[in-house]
Chain A
């Protein structure tokens, strides 16, 4: 592209390309000025081919994975062919003033204080009631204790030091159990089963090439990365408090960890949980976790994770722990698809279901059945004891 060429007509094209870049970015493509320049250079380097060809070329240039590959055609068509309609929606989508509703904590506070009694009464408990209630009471020490406590003080009162300490200690213990996964990468080590020839020869040079000092290499275990997903929907409310402590213990004690809470949305709470002031952390967390209540959209929440966080956070040493009863108001097919996608990002999936500890309970909800094939380890978690019993199993994962 020569500068003289960029006169009237190309200027229009440049503007269209910049708009197109914005349009694609608004629709979730990773695009920056570099991509924009690349398109412009490509399109102006030779006479424009047919629309179909341009579409394929830009698709190759801009798509980054299969999802983008399959979405590209529609987006391309929407912009270049039916341009009027999309621009309106584009402006709406790319507006910098729209923020995610889950972000600002202060707003939550207001929302909660205004709606608290009403929201509290609304929280559905139907699914919970359908379970085997008496058996649950019998096995769950913590549940029984909480039945008498009202919700509000329950959350404020979260700082019972003994209970916190017990939950935190347990969380740390569990994290330690699955702490290290062997990597296959070799590093210099004092004791190892392979010789580090490069180092050995270098150090042998001053001694006339006599390899007196041997250096070794071995594979080094590396810490696992733990991501916890905690279900805080209505049906889980009796366990939320206890699990929140568990999550806090885990995230504070284990450096390589992240925490999410979810109900109808997924909320990233690692920072809130890491707050050193324990009371403040729990309050912040409780505020973030409350509010929406109502149903659980497991599939959608895991989908949010897959889209927004998975690539940045997850790697081949990631173990995901889902704490949920599996009562889902979303479609089970969606959950299954998202779990399958998630499994590509992580190494192991552990599902801890508090209801599983109950007598006569069988995980036969549609969501649980859909999820089952993707779960590497499925266990009960309704008391501290049952969590502690996980340790040996987790160590084997």
Chain B
């Protein structure tokens, strides 16, 4: 049921530069209609992948952000209790039997669709992004298994709701917790690495087309080397983009021009206090020299 061949170049057309393993993984997700689990450090562009895929397929992106204690009422469905109460009141004098009322108020009109139910009841297959699945607890993984294997939801009062179209599911994880084997086995898997020099340069060019070419290559060289330093939190792609924008805003044309300005702009790249302290002016100018 392949919809699209050569996903890599399609993604590039919407401004997302994927490396080969990732484009292969996405191609397989489309071909086999199986969920894809993306792991990798924060900031390598896992969430962006889903957004770009939705753009390529020209379909809706339904996003579910995970947190601990996430349960069926906030992910699959919930009854609209206020509306139910009102409906009961309104029909008080109709002399309906209680079973008739029950039938009315437990119908689809009174159902609040949450992201997962929403995702399987679309006309056109949407992209369902289940973000940071490692933050949810094991119980939620269990809900998910049912949905991911059968693409249907059972509501006791209403019966089983079958998927009208199969969503393309992308799960992301930062690896703060190990996921269960059962979940992993149902998914395709890809580990997303930080981009290499060329790919990061391509991304920078795609996102900031006005950036001067030599500054762009200096920025990428600098960030690539910075990632090799011993940092608590390595700067991701989003940080590179922020930094590039900041440098342009500060009217910097080359990293070697003004080491003080560059050092003060490090707050775009390094997001913890100890990392900022571990990158003093000397290190910044050394890295800048290397990059240039």
A residues with a Cβ closer than 8 A to B are 30, 42, 53, 56-57, 59-61, 63-66, 68-70, 183-186, 197-198, 201-202, 204-206, 208-209, 211, 219, 310-311, 314-316, 344-345
Contacts and interface: CB of A to CB of B under 8 A. Distances in A.
Contacts of A66: 39, 175, 191
Interface residues of B, number: 38
29 contacts: A30-B181, A56-B21, A56-B25, A57-B24, A60-B24, A60-B25, A60-B28, A60-B188, A61-B28, A63-B191, A64-B185, A65-B189, A66-B39, A66-B175, A185-B69, A185-B137, A197-B81, A201-B105, A205-B88, A205-B101, A205-B102, A209-B85, A209-B89, A209-B101, A211-B85, A310-B178, A311-B178, A315-B138, A345-B177
A186 B68 CA distance: 12
Contacts of B139: 185
A311 B92 contact: no
Contacts of A70: 191
B207 interface: no
B190 interface: yes
Contact of A344 (B28, B36, B175): B175
Contacts, number: 94
A316 B177 contact: yes
B32 interface: yes
Contacts of A197: 79, 81
B92 A56 contact: no
**Main secondary structure on B side of the interface with A:** helix
Nearest to B78: A198
Contacts of B184: 30, 64-65
A202 B36 CA distance: 39
Given A60-B188, A60-B190, A61-B28, A201 B39 contact: no
Given A61-B28, A64-B189, A209-B92, A345 B178 contact: yes
Interface of B: 20-21, 24-25, 28, 32, 36, 39, 68-69, 71, 79, 81, 84-85, 88-89, 92, 98, 101-102, 105, 137-139, 175-181, 184-185, 188-191
B71 A186 contact: yes
B137 A316 contact: yes
B158 to A, nearest CB: 13
The 6 tightest CB contacts between A and B, nearest first, are: A184-B69, A209-B88, A64-B184, A197-B81, A56-B24, A69-B191
A239 B81 CA distance: 61
Contact of B84 (A42, A53, A201): A201
Nearest to A312: B181
Nearest to A204: B88
A308 to B, nearest CB: 12
A310 to B, nearest CB: 7
A113 to B, nearest CB: 40
Contact of B21 (A59, A184, A211, A345): A59
Contact of B189 (A60, A184, A202): A60
A60 B184 CA distance: 11
A311 B180 CA distance: 7
A56 to B, nearest CB: 4
